[in-house]
Amino acid sequence: MSRAATIDARDLKLELLDPNAIRLVRLFRHPGGHWDPPDAKYRTLRVDPPDAHKPDFAVLYTASTLSAVAMECRILRADHLDRHTWDQDLAAQYRVARYTYLAPALFIPIDGENRRHLDLSGEQRKFAGYAPYQKAAWALFERFGQLAHGLSWESFHRNQPGRVYAIWHHRKAAMALAVDAGPYHPLAGDAEWLRFLASNPDIESTASP
């Protein structure tokens, strides 16, 4: 059992966002992926439900910056020498969606001080992959899934390029979440992405092997 199931809620730090305080962004590559919940069998990412609970909830992964989303999708990468590259072929598969929310949004961070409380610090989760995160996510959902809107964390990727906001699909309406109307441009042609590359000329483009 994850410690998240029994911890005193008063020990948890929370993140409350004013309406539209952060411009949320997402990359998607399947039809409807900008809004619709994925089938249960595809709920395999960091804070998706654990294996025994895949149908229980679905997550819409968004972030505060396009570079963070690109890293989450392994399009933007950094090696151990902090050399950054981006994969042109992989980028061509993704489109960009942006979101507004007109009501305050409450998130439970799984980083910062909460990591230790949720058994997610390095020495607690060791080399267990996403399993500890998914167990904690399910426990938090069971307890607070009708109160909070999802979970948040500073990107775990090198240099932490932004903050991730994992929104529970059934709570989208509660925060008045809306996705900008299309067309949804491919990442490689997105104006924000082009500005990001122009301001970081050391990022090299590569092609998938």
Rounded to a whole number of angstroms, the distance between the first and last alpha carbons of the chain is 41
Question: Tokens at residue 22, please?
Answer: 């952060």
Whether residue 156 has pLDDT greater than 90: no
Work out how many domains the chain is built from and give that number: 1
Can you list the alpha helix ranges (DSSP code H) found in 45-91?
66-72, 88-91
Question: What is the secondary structure of 3-33 as a DSSP string?
Answer: GGGTS-GGG---EEE-TTSS-EEEEE-STTT
Q: What is the mean pLDDT of the chain?
A: 93
Question: Tokens at residue 167, please?
Answer: 């929104």
Whether residue 125 has pLDDT greater than 70: no
Whether residue 160 has pLDDT greater than 80: no
Q: pLDDT band at 155, cuts 50/70/90?
A: confident
Whether residue 23 has pLDDT greater than 90: yes
With 0-12 / 13-18 / 19 or more C-beta atoms within 10 angstroms meaning exposed / middle / buried, residue 38 is middle
Can you list the alpha helix ranges (DSSP code H) found in 73-121?
88-91, 114-117
Give the tens place of pLDDT for each residue, 79-91. Answer: 888 899 999 999 9
* Lowest mean per-residue pLDDT among 43-47, 76-80, 120-124, 174-178: 120-124
Structural domain of 35:
3-206
Average pLDDT over residues 128-138: 91
Q: Are 39 and 125 in contact (CB under 8 A)?
A: no
Higher-scoring residue by pLDDT: 160, 79 = 79
Q: Which of 187, 148, 193, 123 has the alpha carbon at shortest distance from 47?
A: 148
Average pLDDT over residues 20-42: 96
* Lowest mean per-residue pLDDT among 32-36, 105-109, 203-207: 203-207
The rounded percent of the chain whose pLDDT value lies above 70 is: 96
Q: From CA 142, how far away is CA 145, in angstroms rounded?
A: 6
Average pLDDT over residues 128-133: 87
Average pLDDT over residues 41-60: 96
